[in-house]
């Protein structure tokens, strides 16, 4: 490929409405162009990268035994009515009327359409298991489309749906898909984590997300240094705390005239924040509850909501607090409340001794508090906090935090769709059985943006080789001036092609500075410069995208270097 | 690939609503499945074929120097307003409102979107010429979707758009695209014709269609045995007729009491139909006109409409006919009208002598009519008829008729879109110039159906090898029974893979009759049977899809045969 015949169009300006680095760089590199809100044209350069991702996804799905098909993007309302999702899906579902006033939607996902296909095609257990996938355009009418292709309305998604005669077989295919996804993201050269989504069951395998790690990621993730354990912060759990120590201090009242937060109290007393306990007053279905977490921890609302009676809890009002504890906020605590209250203690708090809490009296805290001695044991002990960096993980490792961009999701759907749509097959005994179903998505176009979030520097994109539009750029200084230079560049291109290395010839005739800036901006991993001067010395100038310095290499060493790349 | 792991689902029943052979066979072979009117799911088998077509199209577009990109399927109303097509496109344009009530359409074609891309990306003549293409889903809200994917609402199309600084350069690219299309259809193994569409100018190159020939085709085509000349019947022209012979007969009145058509008159008189002339009375913008074609010819409405004053002609009423000719229909003619009339004669009629026409008197015709002697020379002589089989073509060959299915179309659009959308680039002199534009479409999904219309027999589809899902089916009799048979089939599959021949293993364990019927129905070009008996004799049973007889071949001869395929 010659850049002079390829439509490359980079710009120096960064559009004002682009916030994310990937959005800015994709626009500057000319990979995408906005047509309307959340609708992007993929330029020749952008499409090359998109197709590389698509090809890897397809290869690994095929290798995993899934079979590709293609469903229409426009799907009839009747189908979506069968599962109730015509209404439930909400505003993201783009609804359409055709010329005959029949109603359709633009597929945002395809559980209904594939189940309709399956109930027409599959009638016997002998045809199961089967995993159908497609790589096709989807549409979600985002209320606030932004971040370029990271949160576009029209996007490219790989969606797969499997059908099984048993839950055990579904679980097997679910693992098979997780392995395939791991191969996909590994092959693409991305740093990623498979994390447990908040699907309810602790350690359950019913749903897992794949995240590309990047500081700009929307999701906070926790993972362990000791194993593959990773979870969304909302779902992550630390190890059980060490057993409670014996009481060592006497209960005493501390004068804290203006100190209301744990930080302020700890600073005043000169003790670690970890010695203090935060009291959070809430109202559940059975009334007033005081939730306790360590001074350096935060209540996790999802976890707290799982405690019996707190499914729909709300913060207590000042009046409710005064009524139950006899104090104003800032000095609350579990010791000697005005009325009997229910106490939900985080596991860490339940394991503490000699701790500090509010005295339920304005201007005072109490220290040296011990369970059993100064107040009753907690009514409930549960994990109700967010993990923090440094927590011990259940596997013995340390918990680290990171931010991620969700690019894949695997689900065990069970029989939700097959049951709603009346899909059965005959089992071994000749009886109608409702197949179990799994679904598995990858955001193909989103991966392109996520990869840039993870891999860029001041000069532009730094593609992992498997996603790069070309692995090597052969840059000609002053093309069409010295025939020997042009010939050397062509010969090098031929040799690279023969070695199976994808290269592009930059024969546009730009000045070296502008040419190199373009090649760096669009993130080509390897740059080779062919010049009159280099040719005279028998060398090519080589520079890796991530290396600071260029080196002069003769042809043999250059080819060795590129082959190893 | 093993069929036991591929989802193949054939049926014996032909759905009642399928009219075309291709529709029936695609349903029976399980290539497509209807989701709703004009909306089809491509099964794994169908998608394999679709992707083969897509790959050939893509390769030839790349080879021709076009660069691929991808435009959104959903496009904003504002863009379509710029060219007036939001209204002009008519009911086929699927219009959509998003959650914010903003209006969009599902792209049925993309001149507006690509011109918008171009005006953002291209600013200098140096960036031209450029030809952008995409292979992407389109939607046309057909009022009567039918014939399966032949006339579906959602379909796969390759659309390309080129931009040029001059008409001459557009004409060059137009030829380049015609050559690329010729390579595409040739490589796919289809019998096709590039035909002149009715784009106005005679022999003009502004628009040309590519048709796959098939008896069931919607379009009637004319082509010459003497050259590449081919045209839609509506636009086809025969050679100029031979010069007019001298008058040989006297004018005489013929008694034709009940004979009103040329056929009836010629039969009564015992003369060839070619000696009679049909008179067609119409009203143009300047009043009454009598159009004359030979008795065996049909008036071509498009051609007649190009005669001055007849752009919006309509049939004359009986009252208008009586007023001008003094007769009732069935006995009309150009001789001695009641009032002076305008006569438009087809070229063939103007070259006739001694012909027969109506006498403008009920129950009578007149014979021995000659121009100049019995009536004035015609006011206009023009080609106003449809060609018929056997006509002499301008190139000296004979004209043949055929039916075709349009699968490609190339246009020279000129500046219609670039002008309407205010797209200019700076030319060599630094002045703003409006680029000329071409557009080039291929109906990728339609090709699959068209190929079947052209290539099928009673047993099913007969794929040309380049479109076949697999070139070879290796059918195992009683798989998993005799290990030697399974091993021989596997070994053969390996050898075919090494030879670059795409093969599928039919290891489903069906009875031979059912297995062979499936393999024939889905159109695999070559079938090889591996059986215990064959193995004992050291042979495989080979049969080409188009051959009547199976042959026993040893491995060497089998591989030779398949390599040559």
pLDDT in tens, A108-167: 999 999 999 999 999 999 999 999 999 999 999 999 898 999 999 999 999 999 999 999
The total of other beta-carbon atoms located within 10 Å of residue A72's CB is 26
As beta bridge partners, residue B75 has B105
Instruction: Return the residue in B11, B35, B51 with the most chain A beta carbons within 10 A, the one to mutate for interface testing.
Output: B35
Structure confidence at residue B198 (pLDDT) = 55
Tens-digit pLDDT profile for residues A501-546:
999 999 999 999 999 999 999 999 999 999 999 999 999 999 999 9
Interface residue B67 vs chain A (CB under 8 A): yes
The total of other beta-carbon atoms located within 10 Å of residue A351's CB is 17
Structure confidence at residue A202 (pLDDT) = 33
Interface residue B70 vs chain A (CB under 8 A): yes
Three-state DSSP state, B124: strand
Tens-digit pLDDT profile for residues A12-57:
888 788 889 999 999 999 999 999 999 999 999 999 999 999 999 9
**Spatial contact of B154 and B27, defined as CB atoms under 8 Å apart:** no
CA-nearest of B475, B446, B294, A156 to B454 is B446
Q: Quick one: three-class SS letters along A213-281? A: ECCCCCEEEEEECCCCCEEECCCCCCCCCCCCCCCCCCCEEEECCCCCCHHHHHHHHCCCHHHEEEEEE
φ, ψ (nearest 5 deg) of residue B176 = -60, -45
Q: What's the residue count for chain A?
A: 565
Percent of chain A past pLDDT 70, that is, above it, reads 98
Reported as type and span, the H/E element at residue B454 is helix B444-454
Touching B: A residues 140-199, CB under 8 Å: 141, 143, 153-154
Grade residue A200 by pLDDT with cuts at 50, 70 and 90.
very low
Cα separation of B57 and B482, whole Å? 44
Its sign, for the CA torsion A229, A230, A234, A235, is negative
Cα separation of B351 and B242, whole Å? 7
Cα separation of B147 and B150, whole Å? 5
Interface residue B390 vs chain A (CB under 8 A): no
Cα separation of A241 and B339, whole Å? 113
Interface residue A327 vs chain B (CB under 8 A): no
CA distance B562 to chain A (A): 26
Tens-digit pLDDT profile for residues A482-504:
999 999 999 999 999 999 999 99
Structure confidence at residue A198 (pLDDT) = 55
Domain residue ranges in chain B: 50-72+108-237+401-451, 252-382, 470-564
First vs last C-alpha separation in chain A: 20
CB-hemisphere CA count at 13 Å for A456?
Answer: 24
A343's tokens: 């106490």
The total of other beta-carbon atoms located within 10 Å of residue A276's CB is 24
B480's tokens: 């998993």
Q: Where are the beta strands (DSSP E) in B43-102?
A: 67-68, 74-76, 94-97
Strand pairing report for A154-164 and A364-369: unpaired
Its sign, for the CA torsion B79, B84, B89, B94, is positive
Cα separation of A48 and A461, whole Å? 15
Tell the CATH superfamily of the A470-564 domain.
Anticodon-binding domain (3.40.50.800)
- A319: exposed, middle or buried (Cβ count in 10 Å: 0-12, 13-18, 19+): exposed
φ, ψ (nearest 5 deg) of residue A256 = -130, 70
Reported as type and span, the H/E element at residue B167 is helix B167-187
Cα separation of B178 and B61, whole Å? 11
- A39: exposed, middle or buried (Cβ count in 10 Å: 0-12, 13-18, 19+): buried
Instruction: Return the residue in A36, A44, A129, A445 with the most chain B beta carbons within 10 A, the one to mutate for interface testing.
Output: A36
Structure confidence at residue B205 (pLDDT) = 53
First vs last C-alpha separation in chain B: 20
Its sign, for the CA torsion B123, B126, B128, B132, is negative
Counted across chains A and B, CB pairs separated by less than 8 A come out at 149
Interface residue A30 vs chain B (CB under 8 A): yes
B124 chain-A contacts, CB cut-off 8 A? none
Instruction: Return the residue in B30, B36, B97 with the most chain A beta carbons within 10 A, the one to mutate for interface testing.
Output: B36
Could you tell me which residues come within 8 angstroms of residue A184 by beta carbon, excluding any fewer than 6 positions away?
A56, A57, A60, A408, A442
Contact B35 A71 (CB under 8 A): yes
The total of other beta-carbon atoms located within 10 Å of residue A559's CB is 17
What is the rounded average pLDDT for all residues in chain A? 94
CA distance B540 to chain A (A): 29
As beta bridge partners, residue A288 has A283
CA-nearest of A248, A240, A267 to A256 is A267
Could you tell me which residues come within 8 angstroms of residue B249 by beta carbon, excluding any fewer than 6 positions away?
B354, B367, B368, B370
- Residue segments in chain B with a per-residue pLDDT below the cut of 50: 199-204
Cα separation of A88 and A93, whole Å? 9
CB-hemisphere CA count at 13 Å for B341?
Answer: 31
The total of other beta-carbon atoms located within 10 Å of residue A411's CB is 21
Nearest to A72 among B102, B141, B154 (CB): B154
Contact A96 B98 (CB under 8 A): no
CA distance A70 to chain B (A): 5
Reported as type and span, the H/E element at residue B562 is helix B555-564
Structure confidence at residue B202 (pLDDT) = 33
The total of other beta-carbon atoms located within 10 Å of residue B1's CB is 16
What residue in A sits closest to B68 (Cα-Cα)? A44
- ipTM score for this prediction: 0.87
Cα separation of A81 and A420, whole Å? 10
What residue in A sits closest to B40 (Cα-Cα)? A72
- B343: exposed, middle or buried (Cβ count in 10 Å: 0-12, 13-18, 19+): buried
B136 chain-A contacts, CB cut-off 8 A? 137
* Mean pLDDT calculated for residue range A222-233: 84
Interface residue A445 vs chain B (CB under 8 A): no
What percent helix, strand, coil does chain B show, rounded to 5?
30, 30, 40
CA-nearest of B151, B128, B119 to B38 is B151
A76 chain-B contacts, CB cut-off 8 A? 35-36, 39
Strand pairing report for A399-414 and B425-426: unpaired
Q: What's the DSSP call for residue A147?
A: T
What residue in A sits closest to B124 (Cα-Cα)? A9
**Spatial contact of A442 and A450, defined as CB atoms under 8 Å apart:** no
CB-hemisphere CA count at 13 Å for A60?
Answer: 22
Reported as type and span, the H/E element at residue B45 is helix B44-63
Say which CATH topology domain A45-237+401-451 has: BirA Bifunctional Protein; domain 2 (3.30.930)
A141 chain-B contacts, CB cut-off 8 A? 98-99
Contact A7 B106 (CB under 8 A): no
Contact B120 A33 (CB under 8 A): yes
Three-state DSSP state, A57: helix
Match domain A252-382 to its CATH number in 3.20.20.70, 3.90.960.10, 3.40.190.10, 3.90.1150.10. 3.90.960.10
B41 chain-A contacts, CB cut-off 8 A? 69-72, 113, 117
Interface residue B364 vs chain A (CB under 8 A): no
Cα separation of A134 and B226, whole Å? 48
Cα separation of B48 and B26, whole Å? 13
Structure confidence at residue B204 (pLDDT) = 42
A46's tokens: 């952008």
Strand pairing report for A252-255 and A436-443: unpaired
Cα separation of A237 and A108, whole Å? 32
Contact A74 B116 (CB under 8 A): no
Q: What's the DSSP call for residue B296?
A: T
Its sign, for the CA torsion B54, B59, B63, B67, is positive
Q: What's the residue count for chain B?
A: 565
Contact A39 B74 (CB under 8 A): yes
Contact A44 B7 (CB under 8 A): no
The total of other beta-carbon atoms located within 10 Å of residue B285's CB is 11
CA distance A66 to chain B (A): 9
CA-nearest of A541, A521, A550 to A462 is A521
Interface residue B120 vs chain A (CB under 8 A): yes
Does the structural domain B50-72+108-237+401-451 have CATH classification 3.30.930.10? yes
**Spatial contact of A131 and A162, defined as CB atoms under 8 Å apart:** yes
A43 chain-B contacts, CB cut-off 8 A? 69, 117, 121
């Amino acid at each position: 490929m010659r850049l002079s015949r390829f439509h490359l169009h980079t710009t120096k300006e960064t559009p004002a409405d682009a916030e994310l680095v990937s959005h800015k760089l994709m626009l500057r590199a000319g990979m995408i162009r906005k047509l309307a809100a959340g609708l992007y044209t993929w330029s020749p350069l952008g499409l090359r990268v998109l197709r590389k991702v698509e090809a890897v996804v397809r290869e690994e799905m095929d290798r995993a035994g899934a079979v590709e098909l293609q469903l229409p993007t426009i799907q009839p309302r009747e189908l979506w009515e069968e599962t109730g999702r015509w209404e439930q899906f909400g505003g993201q579902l783009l609804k359409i009327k055709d010329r005959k006033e029949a109603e359709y939607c633009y597929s945002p996902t395809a559980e209904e359409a594939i189940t309709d296909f399956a109930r027409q095609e599959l009638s016997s257990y002998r045809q199961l298991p089967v995993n159908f996938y497609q790589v096709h355009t989807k549409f979600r009418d985002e209320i606030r489309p932004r971040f370029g292709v990271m949160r576009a309305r029209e996007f490219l998604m790989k969606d797969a749906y499997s059908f099984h005669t048993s839950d055990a077989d579904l679980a097997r295919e679910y693992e098979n898909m997780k392995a395939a996804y791991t191969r996909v993201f590994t092959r693409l050269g991305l740093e990623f984590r498979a994390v447990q989504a908040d699907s309810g069951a602790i350690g359950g395998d019913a749903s897992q997300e794949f995240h590309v790690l990047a500081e700009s990621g929307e999701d906070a993730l926790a993972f362990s240094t000791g194993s593959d354990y990773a979870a969304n912060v909302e779902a992550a759990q630390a190890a059980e705390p060490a057993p409670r120590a014996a009481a060592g201090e006497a209960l005493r009242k501390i004068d804290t005239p203006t100190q209301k937060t744990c930080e302020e109290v700890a600073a005043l007393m000169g003790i670690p924040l970890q010695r203090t306990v935060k009291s959070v007053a809430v109202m559940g279905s059975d009334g007033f509850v005081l939730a306790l977490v360590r001074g350096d921890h935060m209540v996790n609302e999802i976890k707290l909501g799982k405690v019996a009676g707190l499914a729909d809890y709300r913060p207590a009002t000042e009046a409710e607090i005064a009524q139950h504890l006899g104090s104003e906020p800032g000095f609350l605590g579990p010791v000697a409340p005005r009325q009997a209250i229910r106490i939900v203690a985080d596991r860490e708090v339940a394991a503490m001794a000699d701790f500090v809490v509010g005295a339920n009296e304005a201007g005072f805290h109490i220290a040296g508090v011990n369970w059993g001695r100064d107040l009753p044991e907690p009514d409930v002990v549960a994990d109700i906090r967010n993990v923090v960096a440094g927590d011990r993980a259940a596997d013995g490792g340390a918990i680290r935090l990171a931010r991620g961009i969700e690019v894949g999701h695997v689900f065990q759907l069970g029989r939700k769709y097959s049951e709603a749509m009346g899909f059965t097959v005959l089992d071994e005994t000749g009886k109608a059985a409702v197949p179990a179903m799994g679904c598995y998505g990858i955001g193909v176009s989103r991966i392109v943006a996520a990869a840039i979030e993870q891999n860029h520097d001041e000069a532009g994109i730094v593609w992992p080789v498997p996603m790069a539009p070309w692995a090597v750029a052969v840059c000609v200084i002053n093309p069409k001036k010295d025939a020997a230079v042009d010939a050397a560049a062509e010969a090098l291109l031929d040799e690279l092609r023969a070695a199976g290395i994808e290269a592009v010839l930059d024969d546009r005739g730009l000045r070296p500075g502008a040419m190199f800036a373009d090649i760096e901006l669009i993130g080509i991993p390897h740059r080779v410069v062919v010049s009159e001067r280099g040719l005279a010395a028998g060398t090519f100038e080589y520079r890796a995208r991530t290396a600071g310095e260029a080196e002069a290499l003769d042809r043999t060493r250059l080819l060795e270097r590129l082959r190893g790349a």
